Each structure stands twice: as structure tokens, then as C-alpha cells.
Amino acid sequence: MFSQNRILAFLLLTLCTLAGDAVAQQVKLSATSLTFGSHTPGNSSAAQTITLSNDGVADLTISAIAASGGFSQSNDCATLHPGQSCTISVTYISSIVGNTKGALTINNSASTPEIVTLTGTVLPPIALAPGILSFGAIAVGTSQTKSVTITNNGSAFGIAAISTSGDYAQTNNCPATLPTGQACTVNVSFRPAANGTRAGVLAVASKDAGFANSLSGFTAALSGSGVGGPLASQVSLQPTALNFAVRTPFDLSQRTQTVKLTNTSANTSLSVQNVSISGPIYNGTAFYQIASTDCPGMLAPGAQCSIQVVQSPATNAFAPQSAAGSLMIVDSGSSSPDVIPLATRILPELQFTPATLNFPEQLVGTTSATKVVTVTNRMDLSGLSLIPLNISGDFNIVSAGTNPCGLKPAFNPGTSCTLGVTFAPSKSGSISGAVTFTMYPECDPEGVIIQHKACPNAQVINLTGTGN
């Protein structure tokens, strides 16, 4: 009996000790998720705060707090005595258009890292919706009307002009200045002049105090086709569309493409009266420009002329976006005006394939199989990670794939590397995290390395998993 009592006492003491350790240090958060309102590129949200408290009976040490890309944090947390609390201030700073998910990771002496889920949205300053307005097939000589909504997500926007190209016309109810948060409607009518594909663009140019020319301009692509009209046309354009592929706002190169116009008639000259171009405007510079042309004037039967189109750097452009434009030729042919659509995708510096990683259920305390992400540099310049890659949540970076990135990758133009990620849940339930890339030239070296500031252009791979 005595021996049994001693064993029971020992077990009771052990359980009490374990229980005491479990509550000696205890983290309490005032919120486990933060949702931020929307803002436009170059701006940031109002800060939101989280209170972290030590609800245990022993000192709690906060060793590190980090926010993933798109968010910044400041705090006054260090060592908290029982009953004490500290404050973490989180700001949404991303300049990349779209929905952002992130994580605030709090490393502490009481438990595995505490994770606060972060979400926010960046909106384009001016949004045209839909961004591509398609009319389908319309009989030549008839018309159809559809609408585009212009929404101002930024500061008050002065409108200098709203215009269309090709077989398109517009009316609108837009004021001279569109207030913040307001929208107006542009009614676009399509009246095809000839058979076949008939492209165009809707362009909105800003009116800026103190400047003769517009500092910004926004576009939507217009498309449709004519049917039932004359089949003969003496104008041949090659190629029929110019696609400048993918650019980034930090790509400073110029790209040029050439269009050949041929008078296909065997006996009739073609009079080319005008060649013009329309597209977005960034920082006062037209994104698409005519570099040179010998087309205006009379073009003899069978003769050819050329138009060289140059794409300027997308400095101060927001990303991602589709930069629609049009090259329009007014001539004496039956298909006039003849329009060639111009297209470019403006995207952030890095491309992730896949863009997110979702891990299936994983037993707590075990490690998942490795998932691999291919990271590609889309710029014309070399990219360099300013600081080591940061990963949050119960996830880890491992060497994997054919060309491992390492913790501080560097990229030459068009090159790629592979990043391995594993999931090792420390608790049950849904767990979020992110890999943050802070890359030059999208991020300012002085701000990141010297001033230790978060970069609004940092890119992330969002991670999710479930502990079981």
C-alpha cells in the first residue's frame, strides 16, 4: 500500500508539474487575423494593432516578430512579466494590384510561433471595367452599343479626353473631374465598316494642373467583327496584331516592332491620310509611340510601306495590368480605318509557378513531402535578393529541383531557379504562411538594408496547410 501511495503521489506531482509548466507562460492575442481596407499603389493602409498578453505565471520572451511581404510591422514587445502586454502595429503597404494574403509570425518562449493571418487589397487608381469589351459579329453598316464603367479608386481625377479608335464611337456621362470613389459610364458603339476582325481601344487621359500634356492614361481593348459586307480590300497589314509580351514597371528597355502595309490592288493607288496611335500614358510618356513611318501619301498598286512602333519603359505603371493600345491607319480603302491592336502584360519582376502552395493534412510533429516552386525573372535586368528569403508559419525552405534558389537568390534576365518548401505542423487546424522575396531593383536597397524598412513591392508565395 505504501509503495502504491508513493507511486500515485509521484504521478500526481508529475502531472501538476507538467500542468504548471504549460500555464507558466501563455500567449494571448487580441486577434488572430487582420483584414485591411483597399488602397492604390504607392499608398498604404491605416495601421491596425494587436495586443499580445502574457496570461501565464512566468516571464514570456518575444524573440522575433516578422510580417510577410506586402505588410510592415512595429512593436514594443520584449520580455513580458505575468499579466503584462505589448502592442504590435501592422500596416498594409503593398503596391502590387490584387488581393494580398500574408502572415504575422510571433516567435516566443512559450509555444510554437503564433501566426496572425493578414489580408488586404490594392486597387488600380483608375479602373475600366470590363477591360476588354467584345461585341462579337455585327453586320456591316449596323451598330451595337455596350458600356464601360470608369471607377476612380484614387484621388480626384481630372479628365482631359475620352476617345475611341477604329470603328468605335463613344458618349459618356463623366464629369470634368471624377471624385474619389465615384464612377461614370462610357457607352461605346461599334459600327463595322468592313468584314473581318475590327479592333479598337477606349482611352481615358488625365487632366493635370500645371501640365499641358496628360500625366496618366488608361485604356480598355475593343474587339468585334464585321460580316455581310464587301469582301474586297486593297489594304494588307502584316502582322495583324502587335504583342509586346510581358514587361515590368522596372524594365527600362525599349522594344520595337514593325508593321508592313501593302496596297494589294493591281491598278488603284491607295491614299494613306493619317497614321496614329493610342494607348496608356505613364508619368507623362505615351506607352506606345510611332518611331517612324513612310506610309502617309500615295501608295502605288502593289507598293508597300512600313510603320515602326516603339514601346516605352513602363515607369510608374502599376502591376499587374493589361496595357491595351491601337495603331490606326486612315486611308482611301474600303476597309478604312484599319486598326492593329497593341498589347502588353505588365507584371511584377518574379513569376512563381505555381503561384501558391496548398499542403494536404499532415500529422502534427511530422514533415510533409517537398513541394517545388519555379521562380523566373521576367525583367531585362539582373535581379538580386537584398536580404535572405523569409518564410513564416510552420513551413521551411529546402534545397530542391534542378537549380535550387538558395536563401539569397540572384537572377539573370529570363533565368529561373527552384525553391523547395515543406510543411511541419506544430498544432492542429489550418495554418498559413508565406515566402517573401525582397528583390532589387523593385525594392530600394537603402530602405531595405540600411533603414530596415519593408518593401511595398516585395512578392510572396502564399502557403497553406492543415495540421492533423
Rounded mean pLDDT, 130-143: 96
CA proximity to 102, closest of 435, 467, 372, 439: 435
As a whole number of angstroms, the distance between CA 34 and CA 88 comes to 12
Neighbours of 290 (CB within 10 A): 15
Decide if 56 contacts 110 (C-beta within 8 A): yes
Give me the chain's average pLDDT, please.
92
Q: What is the pLDDT of residues 196-243, one digit of tens each?
A: 999 999 999 999 999 999 999 999 999 999 999 877 689 999 999 999
pLDDT for 25: 62
Neighbours of 164 (CB within 10 A): 20
Residue 209 sits in the same domain as residue 320: yes
Residue 3 has pLDDT above 60, yes or no: no
Residue 22 has pLDDT above 70, yes or no: no
Domain count, the chain: 3
C-alpha cell at 314: 513602363
Give 11's contacts (C-beta < 8 A, 6+ positions apart): none
Q: State how far the alpha carbon of 138 is from the alpha carbons of 182, 225, 253, in Å.
A: 33, 6, 40
Q: How many CA atoms lie within 13 A of 395 on its CB side?
A: 31
Confidence of residue 5 (pLDDT cuts 50, 70, 90): low
Residue 104 sits in the same domain as residue 177: no
How many whole angstroms from its chain centre is CA 163? 27
Residue 6 has pLDDT above 80, yes or no: no
CA proximity to 199, closest of 79, 57, 335, 85: 335
Q: What is the pLDDT of residues 394-413, one digit of tens each?
A: 999 999 998 999 999 998 88
Rounded mean pLDDT, 418-436: 93
The residue among 346, 364, 383 that closes a domain is: 346
CA proximity to 108, closest of 151, 167, 66: 66
Domain of residue 205, CATH code: 2.60.40.10
Domain range holding 21?
1-123
Residue 214 sits in the same domain as residue 149: yes
Residue 153 sits in the same domain as residue 286: yes
As a whole number of angstroms, the distance between CA 405 and CA 459 comes to 15
Decide if 339 contacts 165 (C-beta within 8 A): yes
Residue 161 sits in the same domain as residue 309: yes
Q: Give the DSSP letter of residue 404.
A: B
C-alpha cell at 80: 513580458
C-alpha cell at 464: 497553406
Q: What is the pLDDT of residues 322-369, one digit of tens each?
A: 999 999 999 999 899 999 999 999 999 999 999 999 999 999 999 999
Residue 237 sits in the same domain as residue 254: yes
pLDDT for 119: 95
Residue 336 sits in the same domain as residue 391: no
Neighbours of 293 (CB within 10 A): 18
The residue among 123, 153, 186 that closes a domain is: 123
Q: Pick 304 or 253 by higher pLDDT.
A: 304
Decide if 100 contacts 70 (C-beta within 8 A): yes
The residue among 99, 123, 147 that closes a domain is: 123
Long-range contacts of 445-453 (CB under 8 A, 24+ apart): 445/386, 448/386, 448/387, 449/386, 449/387, 453/72
Residue 178 sits in the same domain as residue 195: yes
Residue 171 sits in the same domain as residue 290: yes
Confidence of residue 20 (pLDDT cuts 50, 70, 90): very low
Q: Give the DSSP letter of residue 45.
A: P
Confidence of residue 383 (pLDDT cuts 50, 70, 90): confident
Confidence of residue 110 (pLDDT cuts 50, 70, 90): confident
Residue 372 sits in the same domain as residue 314: no
pLDDT for 39: 96
As a whole number of angstroms, the distance between CA 190 and CA 188 comes to 7
Residue 53 has pLDDT above 60, yes or no: yes
Residue 199 sits in the same domain as residue 313: yes
Q: Pick 250 or 332 by higher pLDDT.
A: 332
Residue 149 sits in the same domain as residue 212: yes
3-state secondary structure of 10: helix
